[in-house]
Chain A
Amino acid sequence: MLTNVIGSLSLIVWLPIAFGILVLVFGGEGRERISKWLSLLGAVLGALVVIPLWLQFDRSEVAFQFVEFSPWVDTFNINYHLGIDGISLILILLNVVTTIFVVVAGWEVITKRVSHYHAAFLILSGMINGVFCSLDAMLFYVFFEATLIPMFLIIGVWGGPNRVYAAVKFFLYTLAGSLLTLVALIYLYRLSGGSFSISDFYATSIPESAQVMIFLALFAAFAVKIPMWPVHTWLPDAHVEAPTGGSVVLAAVMLKLGGYGFLRLSLPIVPDAAQQLAPFVIALSLIAIVYIGFVALIQKDMKKLIAYSSISHMGFVTLGIFIFNAEGMQGAIIQMVSHGFISAALFLCVGVLYDRLHSREISDYGGVVNSMPIFAALFLVFAMANAGLPGTSGFVGEFLVIMGAMASNFWFAFAAAMTLILGAAYTLWMYKRVVFGDVGSEQVAGLKDVNAREFTMLLVLALVVIGVGLYPKPFTDVIGVSVSTILELASVTKY
């Protein structure tokens, strides 16, 4: 087996990157077919190698699994240290599946610099896996930062008219956040007595004032990434300008890096500060949930609407994480995964429309159901899931978070539950204006329904969304132990 030579986690990280390089090398100008098939192969293989992991993963084990360790920078005790727990596993799964959709989504649409496009996504996918696998803080940081480069290029090269502004804003915003994290990590290295291992950070006792500073520094990176109100403004710009694939990866996976960072670093490393500042984070989350929900309501651009809806949904994630109970945290993680699939699907739906009419304005559409009935049906599933309809994955996460919130404070739960109405309002209203009503124009009347490629893509996603909604147990099983471990770590005082 290949895994005897190279660890199974290394394989997950480096296989997509290797394929990305292959695509760059072999898929030059005029060989678009090769690059497309090669990247599809890479994406599918990248997903297949996760399957054995999913099967062999011990769901009752507290420690990190599939650990790999080799020294990297001896002088500063930085190591190539990989390992996963349930949360990593579930997010890796989300990432590799999304990569396949991205490759398929760009199949006919991308005609400019095809090989570069696909290579960027494959490399990005490998790096994101790297973030989810890293058990060394510096390795984590390297992967975390490195993801900026491909995304920057994706938005900037294949994006819309205002792409340069969006790409630079995206890059600088996230870089500003993460640079403070870098200083915090180095400071932790000093406190822990010369180690960058995340588990060593867990065991390090940190004085109270330092905890607050470290928490805020980490918060700067993850709050920008996830993104939380008021540092969310890069996201609508990035989403609107990015090509469909870029939006999909951004919404489905990259935002989750922030949530993952909270779970992996903030909570267990500085538990006291996290507890102490939880009201502040919860307040920001609730503002995001309610206020951004209203902002989403008035959007005229479909992508922007979904972007704001993402921010609002991510508010659920941070709320769930910072109420410090098992339901909330499980809900937050399920919400991350479910939002990954739903937002990916919604962006793909918008992409389907955009490829035909080259407009994302809601007002340019209307009565799409008349010319695209199959599409309308699939779109409805995702719209409903986004609104949190029971029976879809969107419901599970939100329900768990609201339950957790109820246990901690009634008004948190009340405010959070508000969005179920708001979410339904903005999503369904958009759906109504785009799909139903009078046929908006002759172009809309002449729309062709989804082709086989688009149909398969959306159908699979619809099945996943409904499947997770009806039977979330495999997912909650995988994360159960990890959630209680993190909660345990987060409840210890470590002055």
Chain B
Amino acid sequence: MDFQLLDLYTLAPEIFLLMGVSVILLLDLFISEKRRNVTFFLSLIVLIITSILPWLFYDAEPRVIMNGLIVSDALGAALKSFLCVLIAVGLVYSKNYLLPRGLHRGEYFSLTLFAALGMMVMISSNHFLSLYLGLELLSLSLYAMVALQRDSGRSSEAAIKYFILGAIASGMLLYGMSMIYGATGNLNIEAIVFAILTGDADSTLLRLGVVFLIVGIGFKLGAVPFHMWVPDVYQGSPTSVTLLIGTAPKIAAFAFVLRLLAEALGHPSLHQDWSQMLTVLAVASLVIGNVVAIAQTNFKRMLAYSTIAHMGFLLVGFMTGSITGYSASLFYVLTYVLMALGGFGVILLLARDGFEAEELSDLSGLSQSNPWCAFLLMIILFSMAGIPPTVGFWAKLFVIQAIVDLGYVGLAVLAVMASLVGAFYYLRVVKIMYFDANESSDATVTYRTGLAIFGVNGLLLLGLGLFPGWLLSLCESLIESSVRTF
């Protein structure tokens, strides 16, 4: 458990990222507005290198380092690597969006990288303290990024809302953590597990702590009834920031929930409690998210409600507390962020100077003005709706399979009925793109790199839909090798 110099190698990705972001922060002070591309590309390079590093120093068996603060395992390496690629792709999508809006600035890039760092710390935490530190680093970066467009009223409103609700959620989390500390006398995950196993922990206090943790998690994931911030923040933020909020943090949140609930508090007696709470959150999210999304006219806001519904699905897989369920949830979150990436990416691509392309009506007749974009967006939407042969179908199937395995047939029926409601609003977007007359005459995308990335993104969803097997096996082996279940 004690500190060894060699352990620093395991932390190479985080250390490199921190060094990189410091360099970018300093360098940005000395370069002129015209050469801002330098920091942009430097950020990309840092992210790409960081995405490779975890693979060089990861441990096949979970290994706890840094006095029990950090755990190094295959799951962490995979998630960190994927996360960095995701953020890099998000930056590429955003490039042409940032320029005319005055967001193409050093602050933007360094905040993005700080957020990435926070997420990476969250992913490999083995201690409530580091878990919380990572979460706050992520959250604070995101608060600032939402407000980065200073003169936009909506952005400022969203940022305030995000900040206040986020702070409440953090408070809840801390309160819960402190109760668990009170019950077990420790913040280290293994020590907590040990205390629970030996029966030293006060079970009432533990349960109370779990309740507060669930509230905090609900806030961070945006699950009903703690979802109020999601639509406003998604709509109010600059789209490139929405893309960031809507993708990578979901993966970090998954790891967060996994570490907190599955690893620290996964004892069958506690699992019984939190799985019930998660089920309530999941059902409420599935129903409210899907139903309210129908009423939206703003594409970003619609995707926000769709996120809530998708998080519901994620929680459904999670509440099982089984390896199959966790693997299904991991599969779900990995594929969902790819869909969200494409969904927000297309808004970024279609946006021009002074035109945000974020209303649903802005997409009307897209299939005529830009057939390729429309086709790819259709794949993404059908994937979100869970229609085969896209990967979204498999994601939902695996989750449902995991719960039917445990005998929750009623919940499975509810989940598929909710996705039926969901299919309606996704179909409506397809309808707007394909059946409606072309109103926004010009939907040409001049940004070729973005278009190419979008093509890869969309076809990836189709490709994964045709060959989902390997990804699922990968998810399962990652969960099996890394999650220390009871």
A residues at B contact (CB < 8 Å): 71-76, 78, 113, 116, 138, 141-143, 145-146, 148-149, 152-153, 156-157, 163-164, 167-168, 171-172, 175-176, 179-180, 182-183, 186-187, 189-190
Within the assembled complex, what's the spacing in Å between the Cα atoms of A440 and B382? 47
Q: Which of B368, B405, B424, B434 contacts A153 (CB 8 A)?
A: B434
Additional A-B contact list (19), CB under 8 Å, known A164-B431, A175-B420: A73-B394, A75-B476, A76-B401, A76-B472, A138-B397, A142-B388, A145-B393, A149-B382, A149-B387, A156-B435, A157-B367, A157-B434, A164-B435, A179-B419, A182-B397, A183-B400, A186-B404, A189-B404, A190-B404
Stretch at the interface among B68-76, B347-355, B408-416: B408-416
Q: Tell me what chain B mostly uses at the interface: helix, strand, loop, or mixed.
A: helix
Q: Closest residue to B331 on the A side, CB-wise?
A: A75
**Interface contact B420-A179, CB-CB below 8 Å:** yes
Q: Which of A76, A145, A152 contacts B398 (CB 8 A)?
A: A76
Task: Tell yes or no: B469 within 8 A of A by CB.
Answer: yes
CB distance from B63 to the nearest CB of A (A): 27
CB contact under 8 A between A168 and B431, given known A72-B469, A175-B423: yes
CB distance from A190 to the nearest CB of B (A): 6
Task: Tell yes or no: B440 within 8 A of A by CB.
Answer: no
CB contact under 8 A between A168 and B427, given known A75-B473, A183-B412: yes
CB contact under 8 A between A163 and B389, given known A152-B427, A175-B420, A186-B400: no
Within the assembled complex, what's the spacing in Å between the Cα atoms of A152 and B387? 12
**Interface contact A167-B416, CB-CB below 8 Å:** no
Task: Tell yes or no: B417 within 8 A of A by CB.
Answer: yes
Within the assembled complex, what's the spacing in Å between the Cα atoms of A99 and B388? 22
CB distance from B341 to the nearest CB of A (A): 22
**Interface contact A141-B417, CB-CB below 8 Å:** no
CB distance from A382 to the nearest CB of B (A): 31
**Interface contact B405-A190, CB-CB below 8 Å:** yes
CB contact under 8 A between A187 and B409, given known A74-B469, A145-B388: yes
CB distance from A126 to the nearest CB of B (A): 11
CB distance from B175 to the nearest CB of A (A): 39
Q: Closest residue to A139 on the B side, CB-wise?
A: B388
Within the assembled complex, what's the spacing in Å between the Cα atoms of A163 and B398? 34
CB distance from B224 to the nearest CB of A (A): 22
**Interface contact B400-A176, CB-CB below 8 Å:** no
CB contact under 8 A between A172 and B435, given known A75-B473, A186-B400, A187-B409: no
One digit per residue, 1 when the CB lies within 8 angstroms of any chain A CB and 0 when it does not, for chain B 338-378 equals 00000000000000000000000000000110010000000
CB distance from B380 to the nearest CB of A (A): 13
**Interface contact A189-B401, CB-CB below 8 Å:** yes
Q: Closest residue to B410 on the A side, CB-wise?
A: A183
Within the assembled complex, what's the spacing in Å between the Cα atoms of A142 and B467? 12
Q: Which of B367, B368, B413, B468 contacts A180 (CB 8 A)?
A: B413
Within the assembled complex, what's the spacing in Å between the Cα atoms of A190 and B388? 21
**Interface contact A176-B420, CB-CB below 8 Å:** yes
Within the assembled complex, what's the spacing in Å between the Cα atoms of A157 and B365? 11
**Interface contact B434-A172, CB-CB below 8 Å:** no
Q: Closest residue to B398 on the A side, CB-wise?
A: A76
Within the assembled complex, what's the spacing in Å between the Cα atoms of A124 and B476? 34
Q: Give the tally of cross-chain contacts (CB within 8 A).
A: 90
- Chain A residue numbers with a CB within 8 Å of B417 are 179
Q: Closest residue to B403 on the A side, CB-wise?
A: A186
Q: Would you give 12 A-B contacts (Cβ < 8 Å), ordered by A? A: A72-B469, A76-B472, A145-B388, A149-B382, A152-B430, A171-B427, A179-B417, A179-B420, A186-B397, A186-B404, A187-B409, A190-B404
**Interface contact A75-B472, CB-CB below 8 Å:** yes
One digit per residue, 1 when the CB lies within 8 angstroms of any chain A CB and 0 when it does not, for chain B 194-218 equals 0000000000000000000000000
Within the assembled complex, what's the spacing in Å between the Cα atoms of A12 and B416? 32
**Interface contact A167-B431, CB-CB below 8 Å:** yes
**Interface contact A183-B404, CB-CB below 8 Å:** yes
Within the assembled complex, what's the spacing in Å between the Cα atoms of A138 and B393? 11
**Interface contact A74-B473, CB-CB below 8 Å:** yes
- Chain B residue numbers with a CB within 8 Å of A179 are 416-417, 419-420
Q: Closest residue to A179 on the B side, CB-wise?
A: B416
- Chain B residue numbers with a CB within 8 Å of A157 are 367, 434-435
Q: Closest residue to A153 on the B side, CB-wise?
A: B434
- Chain A residue numbers with a CB within 8 Å of B371 are 116
**Interface contact A171-B423, CB-CB below 8 Å:** yes
- Chain B residue numbers with a CB within 8 Å of A148 are 387
One digit per residue, 1 when the CB lies within 8 angstroms of any chain A CB and 0 when it does not, for chain B 450-486 equals 0000000000000000011100110010000000000
CB contact under 8 A between A75 and B469, given known A172-B423, A187-B409, A189-B401: yes
Q: Which of B400, B428, B473 contacts A182 (CB 8 A)?
A: B400
Q: Closest residue to B431 on the A side, CB-wise?
A: A164
Q: Which of B278-332 contact A (CB under 8 A)?
A: 327
Within the assembled complex, what's the spacing in Å between the Cα atoms of A145 and B390? 11
Q: Closest residue to A141 on the B side, CB-wise?
A: B388
Within the assembled complex, what's the spacing in Å between the Cα atoms of A168 and B436? 13
- Chain A residue numbers with a CB within 8 Å of B382 are 149
- Chain B residue numbers with a CB within 8 Å of A187 are 404, 409
CB distance from B167 to the nearest CB of A (A): 40
Within the assembled complex, what's the spacing in Å between the Cα atoms of A176 and B405? 22
**Interface contact A182-B427, CB-CB below 8 Å:** no
Within the assembled complex, what's the spacing in Å between the Cα atoms of A176 and B401? 18
**Interface contact A183-B409, CB-CB below 8 Å:** yes
Within the assembled complex, what's the spacing in Å between the Cα atoms of A145 and B382? 11
**Interface contact B388-A73, CB-CB below 8 Å:** no
Within the assembled complex, what's the spacing in Å between the Cα atoms of A149 and B416? 18
**Interface contact B431-A156, CB-CB below 8 Å:** yes
| Interface-central residue, B327, B413, B428, by most chain A CB under 10 Å | B413
CB distance from A349 to the nearest CB of B (A): 27
CB contact under 8 A between A73 and B431, given known A142-B393, A149-B387, A186-B412: no
**Interface contact A73-B416, CB-CB below 8 Å:** no
Within the assembled complex, what's the spacing in Å between the Cα atoms of A152 and B426? 13
**Interface contact A73-B409, CB-CB below 8 Å:** no
- Chain B residue numbers with a CB within 8 Å of A142 are 388-389, 393
- Chain B residue numbers with a CB within 8 Å of A172 are 420, 423-424, 427
- Chain A residue numbers with a CB within 8 Å of B468 are 73
**Interface contact A73-B469, CB-CB below 8 Å:** yes
Within the assembled complex, what's the spacing in Å between the Cα atoms of A190 and B398? 13
Within the assembled complex, what's the spacing in Å between the Cα atoms of A116 and B368? 11
CB distance from B161 to the nearest CB of A (A): 34
CB distance from A217 to the nearest CB of B (A): 9
CB distance from B480 to the nearest CB of A (A): 11
Within the assembled complex, what's the spacing in Å between the Cα atoms of A78 and B468? 10
Q: Which of B367, B387, B412, B472 contacts A73 (CB 8 A)?
A: B472
CB distance from A335 to the nearest CB of B (A): 29
Within the assembled complex, what's the spacing in Å between the Cα atoms of A182 and B399? 12
